[in-house]
Amino acid sequence: MRKRKNLLVFLAAVLGLAMLAGCGGQKQTGQAPQGGSGDKEQDVELRLASWRVEEIEAFKKLNEEFNKEYPNIKIKYEPVKATEYDSLLSMALSTNTAADLMYIRPFDRGLNLFESGNLVELSEKDVPNLKNIPDSQMRVYRTPDGKIYALPYIHVSYGFLYNKKIFDKYGLKEPETWDEFFALLDTLKKNGVTPLALGTKDAWVVSEVISNPNYVNFLGGEDWHQALLKGEKKFTDPGFVGYLEQLARLKDYMPKDYKAIGYTEAQQLFLTEKAAIFPAGSWEIGFFKSQNPNLEMGLFTSPVVKKGDKRWLGFNGGAGIGVNKNSKHIKEAMIYVNWLGGEKAQVLTGNLMAGLFPCASINTGELTDPLAKEFIDAAGPKGENFAVGWSLEQISKQEPSANTLAMENITRLLNGELSPREAAANIQNGLAGWYAPFKQ
């Protein structure tokens, strides 16, 4: 009997300690029980794949701010070299090892990912901050039937960065027209200065930075671009051939051995002040400032044919953020995507990544870089001056894509291997094999 009594006392003590431990555990978490449970909210780690190794530090700061609001959602930024991104992403998607979130290429390449079933469709219900993004940016990641498959996160524009010291030395001003531009190049060349930090070794530079953005003020910007996509304009028309004639003139102002000069070599020519002008995507601003803080840079956008003409601005979507359809944490991924689209994150992005511009409508007065403000102002308040690069949209969905044809033929044009008329015919005929509006 005594042994039984002692056993009951022992069991009561154990039960009491267990109850105290349970109460103490709940108190330590600082969280009220949810649904009858006192379990702590679980941390979730999301992986974000990107082709921008340059933004590692920027994303550290962005994610620190994000975690002040959402401490349980951790973000792991996983960038790779831009030239390797597409192939690595394709492999990861095919093996179901892709990140929860991923940088999405603008226009056709991003659309192909969505149509292949890899991305979650976004809506304002799940991503309310989509409502703050103008249509000029939304169209970049919208299907023909109106579905949105990525948050427009950053965008880039194109123009010409120039060395202010060199311009001042020879009394040069930013050109307004193409005639003024070529006269300026002549002045530099006559004075022994290399006018353009540009070569043709890397074909993507020729396509993306030279051919794609500078048609805009020769041919009528987005109006011409839309007519082209409908088949109402052709590359073999006198207008586009005339544009290629102007591009062909640029080779006379490139360095002596321009065929052996690639992207990195051209950057160094400008950074070391051995060339006066760098045809640039806006992303160069941050890089050049980090590499040579003493370099005094100015900016002018693609000139017009006649003074008074509307000045369009060459535009590329930059990067969107998409959600992997096979992610195990889609809800948390949507929270992060929505946060990146908010004004706080967009302003912070603009200031941390000079030359990569916010897509949302924000107060540009909060941006600190003057060249970034110039680029954004050139686009107009709602992006009404944007003209999309001619090879980016609809006509690069299949091969031979407009982008491939541009790289091949515009490079050969600048190398003196093709005439403007031959280059134009090659592009037109290459696309006519599969793009319905171009078929004979």
Which are the contacts of 169, defined by CB distance < 8 A and separation ≥ 6?
A: none
Asked whether the predicted pLDDT for residue 249 surpasses 90, the reply is yes
Asked whether the predicted pLDDT for residue 301 surpasses 60, the reply is yes
Phi, psi of 145 (to 5 degrees): -100, 15
Q: Are 210 and 250 in contact (CB under 8 A)?
A: yes
The rounded percent of the chain whose pLDDT value lies above 70 is 90
- Segment 278-288, tens digit of pLDDT: 999 999 999 99
For the whole model, what pTM was predicted?
0.85
Strand partners, 37: 34
Start-to-end CA distance of the chain, whole Å, equals: 105
pLDDT in the model for residue 382: 83
Ranges of beta strands (E only) in 32-141 are: 44-50, 73-79, 101-104
- Segment 74-123, tens digit of pLDDT: 999 999 999 899 999 999 999 999 999 999 999 999 999 999 999 999 99
pLDDT in the model for residue 114: 97
Q: Where are the alpha helices (DSSP H) in 232-369?
A: 238-249, 263-271, 284-291, 330-340, 343-352
Pair of tokens at residue 388? 């999309």
- The b-or-e profile of 124-141 (16+ CB within 10 A means b, else e) is eebbebbeebbebbebbb
Residue carrying the six token digits 């760098």: 278
- Of 382 and 184, more confident: 184
Phi, psi of 401 (to 5 degrees): -80, 160
Q: Are 398 and 209 in contact (CB under 8 A)?
A: no
Distance CA(375)–CA(69), nearest Å, equals 32
Domains of the chain with bracketed CATH: 44-156+316-387 (3.40.190.10), 163-315+389-438 (3.40.190.10)
- What value, to the nearest 5°, has the Cα angle with vertex 326 and ends 321 and 332? 55
Strand partners, 101: 48, 323
- What DSSP line would sit under 374-428, residue for residue? HHHHHH-TTSTTEEE-TTTSSTTSSSS-HHHHHHHHHHHHHTTSS-HHHHHHHHH
pLDDT in the model for residue 20: 30
Residue carrying the six token digits 């179901």: 96
* pLDDT band, residue 40 (cuts 50/70/90): low
Residue carrying the six token digits 């069991």: 11
Q: Are 118 and 103 in contact (CB under 8 A)?
A: no
Q: Could you give the maximum distance between any two Cα atoms of the chain, in Å? A: 115
> What integer is the mean pLDDT of 433-439?
95
Strand pairing of 151-163 and 313-323? antiparallel
Strand partners, 320: 104, 152
Distance CA(171)–CA(118), nearest Å, equals 54
Pair of tokens at residue 35? 């649904």
> What integer is the mean pLDDT of 13-29?
34
> What integer is the mean pLDDT of 155-160?
96
